[in-house]
């Protein structure tokens, strides 16, 4: 399980690093998060994983879209109130938040 924890923490740090470096280049950030999503879904693709990923992929950005549209906050270089990379990050985050506690408990 240490390998699993290492993989998950690496994904976390890469996502944060990508956002810190490429926040002003949404197309590059989008590509990075798409590749991370593909890698995660190749590794974890049970029905539960897919439901978590795609529920967050849709529901997370939907809530943020409404909040941004309402004026609660705004994003730098949004596509339609939210950036294109945001659904992928929500999906990544949901799998991360589901998998990390499982990996820590099984340790």
> What is the model's pLDDT at position 106?
85
* CA trace torsion 40, 41, 47, 49 (10° rounding): 30
Using pLDDT thresholds of 50, 70 and 90, give the confidence band for residue 94: very high
**Contact (Cβ atoms closer than 8 angstroms) between residue 81 and residue 35:** no
What domain range includes position 77?
Answer: 2-106
- pLDDT, tens only, 31-64: 999 999 999 999 999 999 999 999 999 999 999 9
Report the domain count for the chain.
Answer: 1
> What is the model's pLDDT at position 107?
60
């Amino acid at each position: 399980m240490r390998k699993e924890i290492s993989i998950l923490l690496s994904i976390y740090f890469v996502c944060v690093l990508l956002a810190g470096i490429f926040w002003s280049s949404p197309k590059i950030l989008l590509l990075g998060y798409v590749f991370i999503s593909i890698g995660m879904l190749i590794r974890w693709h049970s029905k539960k994983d897919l439901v978590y990923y795609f529920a967050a992929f849709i529901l997370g950005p939907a809530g943020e879209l409404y909040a941004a549209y309402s004026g609660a906050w705004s994003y730098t270089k949004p596509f339609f109130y939210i950036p294109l990379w945001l659904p992928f990050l929500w999906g990544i985050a949901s799998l991360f938040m589901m998998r990390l506690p499982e990996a820590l408990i099984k340790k």
